[in-house]
Amino acid sequence: MAPPSDDSGPLGAAEAGAISKVLIVIAMQTEALPLVNRFRLVEAAAQESIFPKGAPWIRYHGEYKGLHIDLVWPGKDPVLGVDCVGTVSAALVTYASIRSLKPDLIINAGTAGGFKAKGAVIGDVFLASDVAFHDRRIPIPVFDMYGIGARKTFATPNILKELNLKVGKLSTGDSLDMPPHDESAILSNDATIKDMEGASVAYVADMLSTPAIFVKAVTDIADGEKPTAEEFLQNLIAVTAALDKAVTEVVDFVSGKCISDL
């Protein structure tokens, strides 16, 4: 996710001066609301919507320490009433938000499964160094690499130096469970954490030349003994508090900085 070489893209203003616009992309309402409250964001009125009619996506916005913050999440499924999790919703809301809001920086914040074999424990917060997909299997030469979609995330050495975050590779898929074929792909991706949206956010951000970082808090141990769904629900609220703290620290660090300072 290297910045473009000219000043015509979204990075131009941030490179020339301090970062002024941050977009937080988050998958679930439970993860989003603590940050909405922390940054004192307000929900955009219907007449101010930047999204197409019929899209359930939600945007909050406000000012915080010299930054304009927009927080978006894909909303609730209009029929089933559950969070619109997964790669499709995440990619769509990210694309629409970048096109309309032109952020200097994206923070994809959320919860994730972690692998104890790679040193992850519940409550850890990771900054992803790499992202890839583990469920886009296309066994044809070159198409296979496209399906995996491996890419480096935007480098933030100063954030890592300043904040107490772990670093690991992130693998993304559209299923919460981990059947053997997904597990094999995740191992091939050398992933420490897995989620359901990160790599799709990275794909869109890369396409639109917008730097993106990925802050993920571990709710469940993917290679542990407890059922994933049970452990995820058991730890979601407590781990979301750790996520809230970490994202706030990242935003505090970003305030007054240029992209090159991160």
Which contacts qualify for 160-166: CB closer than 8 Å, 24 or more apart?
160/127, 162/253, 163/246, 163/249, 163/250, 163/253, 165/125, 165/126, 165/127, 165/215, 165/246, 166/119, 166/120, 166/124, 166/125, 166/126, 166/127, 166/192
Q: Report the alpha-carbon angle 146-28-79, nearest 5.
A: 95
CA distance 91 to 202: 9
Which positions are catalytic?
A: 31, 220
Angle (deg, nearest 10), helices 228-254 and 29-38: 30
Where do we find the tokens 């597990």?
183
DSSP summary character for residue 36: H
- 131, two tokens: 């992202």
Q: Let me know: does 160 contact 138? Beta carbons within 8 Å.
A: no
Look at residue 96 and give its three-state secondary structure. Answer: helix
DSSP result, 206-255: HHTT--EEEEEEEEEETTSSS-HHHHHHHHHHHHHHHHHHHHHHHHHHHT
